[in-house]
């Protein structure tokens, strides 16, 4: 098991702070016109009148600004500013290092503690988490603040950084607007009795670096810490030692709440030795039990866990499908999952198979005859198709549209990388919605991609429709006898 002395030392060296620091750039000075003023008035005979549950600011998760709230001293809506934390105590867990427990009974909804640390950009978070890895700091304490910023509590933080993860937590993070800035607090999801360990779900929050096996023990345990977080998806390095939490077995990589690990385990996988279908040098393609060709996300699964008859059967099915699969599908797999090659290159993962994960259920449609129609898009290999066309012009036209389609597809992918923080922010916090400008950009790029696909398929269909059946495949590429050439390119 892991040695926790480093944590102890870290705690003693920890620069304990009582607020969130902006590491780069100053705290914003709130403009007077931006200050939200509630309508509460303190009535001495009714203590609840001072900014309680019905306070307009409380309802919008905004703290009152001192000097502007009519309740003055009695205002109860300045919990972050006044550090009104619940009593908590640091303790050593059996197998998860330090933890924090309730040192008094805590009520459902109660503010427990602020997650304090240095506010840094995502880019800086990535840089730091790599630096921490090099320095051997395993438990980076970086969580998401918003689309562009994170909070790093590794060197400077509050006790909140010692709260462990649970897939069935008694606390949760909530964002509050405090004097014009977003701050993160840990709040009780339920009544918590004194002596109970506090835990929240790291899923969308954590930018911890290494993949850590979860030991929360919940029935619904997702297997790894922060499995749905940005950090988990961007970084795939694995600690290699004898600590259970850092070993690599059946690491599910998924990016949506729909794709629960339990569903992934129902999928099948082909043998890595298949030479007929090799995605960009990666071995194996996963198909689901309905023989559908799959989307572009991946799971890593131990071959040991797959019965051999399933492996062989699936392999045959994939061979058929592979004929329809074009190189751009492979590229898409690689592009979206560059991380996979990093896992694969690590010697600990040599025995794992890598393939796209199952299509979410909503992509399949059941027909009255009980058959399932695969709504996942199949990729046409335009280059192979072009070779079947008898004229150079027809071939060139198809290839031109193919190129245009590839261009807009990669534009859409880069746009996705750009706006992903905003999308994740939306997923993470139901109160937010993705900005209209982000949605518009996305819709425009998606429409361009659909149009490019339509143009390509239209060009293929048109050229085939205009080709007499016996001419298919007769001509070699770009070797058409001009004398006998039929003009297939009618518009």
Binding site for ligand SAM (CB under 6 A): 7, 96-99, 139, 141, 161-162, 164-166, 208, 212, 214-216, 225, 245
Q: Cβ closer to ligand SAM: 192 or 225?
A: 225
Smallest separation, CB 190 to ligand SAM (Å): 18
**H helix or E strand, kind and range, residue 157:** strand 156-157
Q: Cβ closer to ligand SAM: 180 or 223?
A: 223
Smallest separation, CB 428 to ligand SAM (Å): 17
Smallest separation, CB 212 to ligand SAM (Å): 5
Q: Cβ closer to ligand SAM: 189 or 392?
A: 189
Q: Cβ closer to ligand SAM: 96 or 428?
A: 96
Q: Which two tokens stand for residue 311?
A: 């492996």
Smallest separation, CB 164 to ligand SAM (Å): 3
Smallest separation, CB 81 to ligand SAM (Å): 24
225, 214 in Cβ contact below 8 A? yes
Smallest separation, CB 450 to ligand SAM (Å): 42
**H helix or E strand, kind and range, residue 183:** strand 181-188
Rounded Cα distance between 126 and 105, Å, is 38
Q: Cβ closer to ligand SAM: 96 or 286?
A: 96
Smallest separation, CB 197 to ligand SAM (Å): 10
Percent helix, strand, coil in the chain (nearest 5)? 35, 15, 50
Q: Cβ closer to ligand SAM: 164 or 344?
A: 164
Q: Cβ closer to ligand SAM: 46 or 168?
A: 168
Q: By C-alpha distance, which of 195, 171, 190, 197 is closest to 95? A: 197
Smallest separation, CB 423 to ligand SAM (Å): 25
Smallest separation, CB 97 to ligand SAM (Å): 2
| DSSP secondary structure letters along 419-431 | HHHHHHHHHH-TT
Q: Cβ closer to ligand SAM: 225 or 251?
A: 225
253, 272 in Cβ contact below 8 A? no
Q: At 265, phi and psi to the nearest 5?
A: -70, -20
64, 71 in Cβ contact below 8 A? yes
Handedness of CA 268, 271, 275, 278 (dihedral sign): positive
Q: Which two tokens stand for residue 65?
A: 């600004």
Task: Give the contacts of 193 (CB within 8 A, at least 6 positions apart).
Answer: 102, 105
CA triple 95-185-60, angle to 5 deg: 150
Q: Cβ closer to ligand SAM: 57 or 166?
A: 166
CA triple 64-65-67, angle to 5 deg: 125
Residue in the shown chain whose Cβ atom is closest to ligand SAM: 97
Strands (E), 275-326: 278-279, 282-283, 286-287, 298-302
Q: What's the start-to-end Cα distance of the chain, in Å?
A: 71
């Amino acid at each position: 098991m892991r040695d926790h002395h480093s944590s102890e030392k870290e705690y003693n060296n920890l620069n304990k702070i009582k607020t969130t620091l902006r590491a780069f750039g100053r705290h914003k000075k709130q403009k007077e016109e931006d200050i939200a003023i509630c309508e509460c008035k303190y009535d001495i005979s009714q203590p609840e009148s001072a900014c309680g549950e019905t306070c307009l600011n409380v309802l919008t998760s905004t703290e009152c600004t001192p000097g502007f709230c009519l309740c003055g001293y009695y205002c109860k809506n300045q919990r972050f500013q006044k550090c009104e934390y619940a009593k908590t105590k640091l303790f050593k867990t059996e197998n998860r290092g330090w933890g924090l427990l309730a040192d008094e009974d805590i009520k459902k909804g109660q503010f427990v503690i602020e997650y304090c640390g240095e506010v840094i950009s995502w880019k800086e978070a990535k840089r730091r988490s790599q630096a921490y890895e090099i320095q051997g700091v395993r438990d980076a304490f970086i969580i998401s603040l918003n689309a562009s910023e994170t909070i790093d509590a590794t060197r400077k933080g509050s006790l909140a950084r010692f709260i462990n993860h649970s897939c069935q937590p008694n606390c949760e993070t909530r964002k509050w607007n405090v004097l014009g800035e977003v701050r993160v607090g840990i709040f009780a999801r339920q009544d918590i009795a004194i002596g109970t360990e506090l835990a929240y779900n790291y899923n969308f929050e954590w930018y911890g670096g290494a993949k850590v096996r979860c030991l929360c023990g919940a029935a619904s345990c997702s297997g790894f810490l922060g499995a749905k977080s940005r950090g988990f998806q961007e970084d795939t390095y694995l600690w290699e030692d004898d600590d259970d939490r850092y070993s690599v077995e059946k690491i599910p990589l998924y990016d949506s709440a729909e794709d629960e690990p339990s569903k992934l385990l129902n999928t099948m996988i082909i043998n890595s030795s298949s030479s007929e279908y090799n995605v960009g040098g990666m071995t194996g393609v996963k198909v689901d039990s309905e023989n559908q060709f799959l989307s572009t996300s991946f799971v890593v699964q131990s071959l040991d866990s797959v019965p051999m008859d399933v492996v062989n059967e699936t392999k045959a099915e994939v061979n058929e499908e592979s004929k329809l699969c074009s190189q751009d599908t492979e590229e898409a797999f690689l592009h979206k999952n560059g991380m996979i090659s990093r896992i694969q290159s690590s010697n600990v993962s040599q025995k794992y198979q890598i393939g796209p994960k199952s299509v979410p259920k909503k992509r399949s449609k059941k027909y009255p005859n009980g058959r399932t129609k695969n709504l996942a898009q199949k990729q046409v290999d335009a280059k192979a198709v072009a070779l079947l066309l008898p004229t150079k012009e027809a071939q060139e036209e198809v290839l031109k549209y193919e190129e245009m389609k590839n261009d807009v597809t990669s534009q859409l992918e880069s746009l996705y990388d750009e706006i992903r923080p905003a999308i994740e922010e939306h997923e993470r916090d139901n109160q937010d919605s993705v900005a209209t400008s982000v949605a518009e950009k996305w819709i425009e790029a998606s429409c361009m991609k659909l149009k490019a696909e339509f143009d390509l398929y239209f060009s293929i269909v048109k050229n085939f429709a205009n080709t007499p059946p016996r001419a298919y495949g007769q001509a070699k590429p770009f070797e058409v006898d001009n004398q006998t050439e039929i003009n297939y390119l009618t518009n």
